[in-house]
Structure 1
Amino acid sequence: MSTTALIVVDIQNDYFPGGKWPLDGVEAAADNAARIIAAARKKGDLVIHVRHETPSPDAPFFVPGSAGAQLHAKAAALPGEKVILKHFMSPYRETELLDILRSSKIEAVTVVGNMSHMCIDAVTRASDDFGFKTTVIHDACATHDLAFNGVTVPSTQVHAAFMAALRFGYATVVSADEFLA
């Protein structure tokens, strides 16, 4: 039995073109995530999908019950795969994720999904804090430009900064090709 789980975070319709909050590079990231999901399934790893809904009906995106809040076809769960519904940035907060990982005797987690600077950061740091050997597939994650104090930070720099920070102390950070080799 595998002791590795793949956590597929928020690969949802609202993040894609035509959605309410499209991310830069989301199509390519989702294609890489799909490759990682296929490999995890083939190896018999536990695959857990995380889906975010914002509990307010006037939410800017991920409105409960909307098509935008559904998992994107590129990362759809197969029958029998766990889908965790979350309402916060960290999929550990007020969900069964930690219990599922512990009861499945998981020692290592691999992370793919969206957004690099929010939920990917949150799940990676928490996974390490809970003692899991953590790997992030950097090119299977996407984000968007950010602004702070009058400065716009391009998405490529946002993504690179967060991947560098995670690699510094929380996770192994590799490309999909490196991971699959």
Structure 2
Amino acid sequence: MSRALIVIDVQREYFDGAFPIRHPAGHLEAILETMDAANEAKIPTVVVRHHQPDPESPIFRKGSDMWQLHDEVGARPHDILVDKQLPGSFTNTSLDEFLKDAKVDTVCIAGYMTQMCCDTTARQAFHRGYKVEFLKDATGTLDVANEAGSVTAEQLHESILVAQQMFISDVIDKETWLQRLG
């Protein structure tokens, strides 16, 4: 098995901006620990960064302070930085080519938001034939309310994890993933 870690959108917008991630507790620490373990195990690490196509967007505006990677993620070693404009990390990016060149067959999903970019990227990876590990404590979300209704971060996170485990991903915690690196 040849793994890669994909760390999705750990950007300041989710800490100091419009979308503060609140669940699960310890999500950032879990992400940083997985990055450190991947580096130690010589597992390719992909850091993904999102920006909105509209150069005047109030959120995830390319070049803005809130668009920047979280300092601790940006400072950690990674093999490639992938910039994207849509929820899926494979869409109009070099991610698939990078993974194929590295002969990766299994991807591990960490980052934000569980129900959007993490879920979409996991589904895209599965559709491309990769095995997918989805880290339930190294992904995160927030409470959401819109015209369709409202859901707590806990409910949203759990429902996506349950859906992922049905067919797409092996949903595991960070400790299980670290043991697999053994």
State whether TM-score is above 0.5. yes
Asked whether the 8 Å contact 1:109–1:133 carries over to 2, the reply is yes
Alpha-carbon distance in structure 2 between the residues aligned to 1:77 and 1:93: 25
Alpha-carbon distance in structure 1 between the residues aligned to 2:18 and 2:147: 24
Aligned to 1:29: 27
Asked whether the 8 Å contact 1:61–1:68 carries over to 2, the reply is yes
Root mean square deviation of aligned Cα: 1.7
Alpha-carbon distance in structure 2 between the residues aligned to 1:81 and 1:27: 27
Percent identity, aligned pairs only? 28
Residue pairs, 1:1-16, within 5 angstroms = 3-16=2-15
The one-letter code matched in structure 2 to 1:114 is Y
- Stretches of structure 1 that go unaligned for 5 or more consecutive residues are none
Aligned to 2:73: 75
Question: For the structure 1 residues 58 and 112, does the alpha-carbon distance in structure 2 shift closer, same or farther, using more than 3 Å as the test?
Answer: same
Alpha-carbon distance in structure 2 between the residues aligned to 1:83 and 1:65: 15
TM-score, length-scaled by structure 2: 0.92
- Stretches of structure 2 that go unaligned for 5 or more consecutive residues are none
Which digits, 9 at most, give the CA deviation of each residue in 1:127-160, with x for residues without a partner?
1111111101111111112235563210100000
1:81 CA displacement: 2.3
Counterpart among 78, 83, 90 of residue 88 in structure 2? 90
The number of residues matched between the two structures is: 179
Which digits, 9 at most, give the CA deviation of each residue in 1:81-120, with x for residues without a partner?
2100000100100000001111111111111000001000
What SS is found at the alignment partner of 1:69?
coil
Alpha-carbon distance in structure 1 between the residues aligned to 2:120 and 2:61: 21
Question: For the structure 1 residues 53 and 176, does the alpha-carbon distance in structure 2 shift closer, same or farther, using more than 3 Å as the test?
Answer: same
TM-score, length-scaled by structure 1: 0.92
Structure 1 runs (4+) deviating above 4 angstroms are 77-80
